[in-house]
Structure 1
Amino acid sequence: MEQASNIARRRKSALADGSPDYTAKRDELVQVASRLFKQKGFKATTLNDIAKEAGIDRATIYYYVASKDELFQEAIGGILNANIAEAERILKEEGPDPRAKLELLLEVLMLSYEANYPHMYVYIQELMHDVARDSSPWAKLMVKQTRRFEKITMLLIAEGVAQGMFREDIPIRLAVNGLFGMFNWTHRWFDPQGKKSAREIAQVFCTIFFDGISQPA
């Protein structure tokens, strides 16, 4: 118990100090953990697995992180913050019509999946539903951010309906569920090194989606 408390104090001190070497090692552990979470599943992956893959012993890994949950939260938190900030910017932007804004928003989402591979896919694949039932402050923030991203999408579709650009007979909530269903299902097959880039996939999905809700000429 005393040894664990000592390691926790050293970890807290090192985090506060924020030296480049310490930060770089934590970032490396986040990357290693994310790969293992994707390969083995979050629940099946242990800190021993992560330490072994990173070339350090279990005792040493506690100097950098307290748990695998901490590694996961480190990977996801900043990504959602960045996505929300970009979504808010697109919503407030003057000039583009609702369809153009939605295309930009969905491109941001898919590019985020590519740039942060496989972090977001681990979240979608294994933990999104668990987070929705979690009462911790971090989980509540994740749910709030996810709902805000969905709300912005709904606002843009509603704006398109009001302008006569999109059909009125399709419930907006169902349209949004179908839209995110397409993008979130990419966790099953998308590969950043594959034949289709994230931007190309976003463009194809937008074509499929908008051809289904656009008003006939």
Structure 2
Amino acid sequence: MSKRRRSARVEGGAAYHAKRSELLQIAGDVFKEKGFEAATLNDIAARFGTDRAAIYYYFASKDEIFQEVFQATAKKVLDENLAEATRIAGLDITAHEKLHQLIHLQVTSYEANYPYVYVYIQEDMGKVAFQSTPWAKDMVRKTRRFEQIVADIITSGMRAGEFRSDLSVPLVVRTLFGMVNWTHRWFKPGDRKYTAQQTVDTFSAIFFDGLRRSS
């Protein structure tokens, strides 16, 4: 089967690759609903409308599905978000405006890449810091760079008198990322309960009211 699978990836036509992409999307949905550990290849196969044996035509294991979908997607999203965050940090606007744009960037990026990034946050993000693979080290380095950009913006806002200066910058950063990342527990694009823009507006109102310097 492994030889057949390798041949299909190299020589397979549009139909094969379309089915493979569909399977990845379905697997992402199953992992999101059940969690990586609880989900099985049987669950994925049933949702895909086939049996477990047919899955091996596309992937060798559940781990391979996870690695390919979530790690590749997470790296792509982090690269794009880091580049955009760097651009935002260099704009000639207030620290408040920069942070608002960064909140918008994260929420809308997560929405556009649902459910892949959310499953990465839910299942794998906490483990990355303890891995020694080049991929994990790269992810940790870029995540810390993103966090440092946010910390620098908050610090500049405090110095400029936009934000209150009696708060710990690292704790403010953790609060912001905790608020945004926790949406993986309840935010589902398309369910009409909360939109990405409503989420951005609500988070911004709560966050900036807490940061606002009293007159």
| Band of TM-score, shorter chain | 0.7 to 0.9
Distance between the aligned counterparts of 2:197 and 2:139, measured in 1? 25
- Counterpart pick for 1:212 among 194, 207, 210: 210
Aligned to 1:128: 125
Aligned to 1:194: 192
Greater shift in the superposed pair: 70-79 or 181-190? 70-79
Distance between the aligned counterparts of 1:140 and 1:98, measured in 2? 30
Q: Structure 1: 5+ residue runs without aligned partners?
A: none
Q: Structure 2: 5+ residue runs without aligned partners?
A: none
- Counterpart pick for 1:27 among 1, 5, 21: 21
Residue by residue over 1:160-199, the C-alpha shift from the partner in whole angstroms, topping out at 9 and shown as x without a partner, is: 1221211221111000111111112222222322332111
Distance between the aligned counterparts of 1:145 and 1:21, measured in 2? 36
Q: Tell me by how many angstroms 1:12 deviates.
A: 5.2
SS of the residue corresponding to residue 63 of structure 1 reads coil
Distance change (3 Å), C-alpha of 1:82 and 1:44: same
Letter in 1 for 2:64: E
Q: Does residue 29 of structure 2 align to residue 44 of structure 1?
A: no
Residue by residue over 1:51-100, the C-alpha shift from the partner in whole angstroms, topping out at 9 and shown as x without a partner, is: 332124444433333333333342433222222222222122x3221110
Percent identity, aligned pairs only, is 49
Greater shift in the superposed pair: 116-125 or 100-109? 116-125
Distance change (3 Å), C-alpha of 1:43 and 1:216: same
Aligned to 1:90: 88
Q: Does residue 197 of structure 2 align to residue 161 of structure 1?
A: no
Distance between the aligned counterparts of 1:32 and 1:139, measured in 2? 25
CA RMSD of aligned residues (A): 2.2
Distance between the aligned counterparts of 1:39 and 1:144, measured in 2? 29
Q: Is the 8 A contact 1:10 1:63 kept in 2?
A: no
Letter in 2 for 1:186: T
Aligned to 2:103: 106
SS of the residue corresponding to residue 170 of structure 1 reads coil
SS of the residue corresponding to residue 149 of structure 2 reads helix
Aligned to 2:78: 80
Q: Tell me by how many angstroms 1:159 deviates.
A: 1.5
Q: Is the 8 A contact 2:158 2:165 kept in 1?
A: yes
Greater shift in the superposed pair: 73-82 or 34-43? 73-82
Q: Does residue 62 of structure 2 align to residue 68 of structure 1?
A: yes
Q: Tell me by how many angstroms 1:151 deviates.
A: 1.6
Distance between the aligned counterparts of 1:65 and 1:80, measured in 2? 25
Q: Does residue 140 of structure 2 align to residue 143 of structure 1?
A: yes
Distance between the aligned counterparts of 1:143 and 1:44, measured in 2? 26
Q: Is the 8 A contact 1:51 1:57 kept in 2?
A: yes
Distance between the aligned counterparts of 2:141 and 2:60, measured in 1? 25
Greater shift in the superposed pair: 122-131 or 36-45? 122-131
Q: Tell me by how many angstroms 1:107 deviates.
A: 0.6
Q: Is the 8 A contact 2:98 2:153 kept in 1?
A: yes
Distance between the aligned counterparts of 1:45 and 1:165, measured in 2? 47
Distance between the aligned counterparts of 2:21 and 2:161, measured in 1? 48
Name the TM-score, length of structure 2 as normaliser. Answer: 0.86
Greater shift in the superposed pair: 190-199 or 19-28? 19-28
